[in-house]
Structure 1
Amino acid sequence: MTFWQVDLRRHAEERFLAVARPVPAGAVIRDADVRVVRVANPSGLALVGADRRDEVVGRTAAVPLAVGSLVVSSQVGPPAWPAAGQAVIAVPVKVGRAPAGLTKGARVVVLVAPAAGADQSGATPPAGQTAAEARRAVATVVSARAGADQAGGQVVTLLLAAGEAEAVASTSGDVALVQLGPGQ
């Protein structure tokens, strides 16, 4: 235990950049988006030192930057999110069609059912997919917020395979989200 304590004292004065407010992938990082924090970094992570602030401010966030996270050099540069083969879509979700307290990182099954009173055949799915595939997909929640035009509804932003995103976006109907448990 003595070695760890000595190492912490040796690294205790290191200053690094942390994210002060959320920055979406592809957005320009502004001065107010980062702050200086003191952190011991004995593991040698590629954290961006406070003295390199000018290498971050004015550049593009390659991935979404979450508040409180430490800035790593690979997070700055050309957008790398969503990754190749993935896409991000936003879907309106009516009251009662998603679990309460849905949070970022949750894995969900996206189901699109024909809207009440709509033609049961729904929209034509993209080439190479059946109607059943166009109405079901597995995704990761990026964000969930109250819907501006829906009383009690929400808009949920999802990360999923590009083909599935296209299928969900091209299918008309009501969206329901089913949250999956760990490892599903």
Structure 2
Amino acid sequence: MSVTAARPQPATTAAPSWVGRRSGRRVAAGLLLVVATVLTFWQVDLRRHAGEQFLAVARPVPAGVVIADTDVRVVRVANPSGLDLLAADRRDEVVGRAAAVPLGVGSLLVSAQVGPPAWPPAGQAVIAVVVKAGRAPAGLAAGARVVILVARTPDTGQAATSPPTAQTVEARRAEASVVATSDAEQGGQIVTLLLDELQAQAVASTPGDVALVQLGPRQ
């Protein structure tokens, strides 16, 4: 009786783990090289623009008012994004011309802000309202979004002899942006507002106490 010896099976060779680690290291090294290259170019570009001088607003200038030499100043800022900022050597192109829009202190000047008045924008209007003390948030500044609430009594004669009721009091509501604020002579403040043209006419023609409610930024 013969016994046949079993043939040994070939062993399966597993890929060494160091191969996978080596490939991962190459990918990581490549990513680091890309990041380093981007940072290098960004720093070089920033240094190249860091010495540039541009014109900024030194004092507030209302729209349509001629810009004086004291209304602008020279600042040194980086402009890597290539915005249409007015360079310092273009001062003569700005002084003596009208502001197309209201110019706020500290803002950098661009070409579109100088020239024929383009304020207020089409379909909108600017009005000023007197707000009594305590009827607007403290520290209200230009650019804030507010809701205007005007409470009025339709019959002023009736309001003089009897207190207003829920049936006699009407409210006018409109949303606006604050353009400027200043102190009123008898307390409170005068607030200049930008809003829809028709709503501006309605608010301006509505007698009564004005209250402003500040809104958060648009989402």
TM bin (shorter chain): 0.7 to 0.9
When Rg is computed on C-alpha atoms for both structures, the one with the higher figure is 2
Task: Letter of the 2:207 partner, please give it.
Answer: S
Aligned Cα root-mean-square deviation (Å): 2.1
**Distance of 2:57 and 2:158 partners within structure 1:** 47
**Distance of 2:93 and 2:157 partners within structure 1:** 55
Counterparts of 1:34-73 in structure 2 under 5 Å? 34-73=72-111
Task: Letter of the 1:174 partner, please give it.
Answer: D
1:39, distance to aligned residue in structure 2 (A):
1.6
**Distance of 2:109 and 2:102 partners within structure 1:** 11
Task: Letter of the 1:138 partner, please give it.
Answer: E
Match of 1:111 among 127, 149, 153: 149
- TM superposition score normalised by structure 2: 0.72
Give the unaligned 5+ runs of structure 1: 122-130
Alignment of 1:30 with 2:71, yes or no, is no
Residue pair 1:15, 1:38 contacting (<8 A) in 2 also: yes
- Equivalent residue for 1:177? 212
Q: Percent identity?
A: 74
- TM superposition score normalised by structure 1: 0.85
- Equivalent residue for 2:194? 159
- Equivalent residue for 1:21? 59
Match of 2:183 among 123, 129, 146: 146
Task: Letter of the 1:26 partner, please give it.
Answer: G
Select the structure with the greater relative contact order (CA < 8 A; seq sep ≥ 6). 1
Alignment of 1:3 with 2:45, yes or no, is no
- Equivalent residue for 1:127? none
Q: 1:20 to 1:158 in 2, by over 3 A?
A: same
Q: 1:98 to 1:80 in 2, by over 3 A?
A: same
Q: 1:49 to 1:11 in 2, by over 3 A?
A: same
Segments ≥4 residues shifted beyond 6 Å: none
Give the unaligned 5+ runs of structure 2: 1-38, 160-168
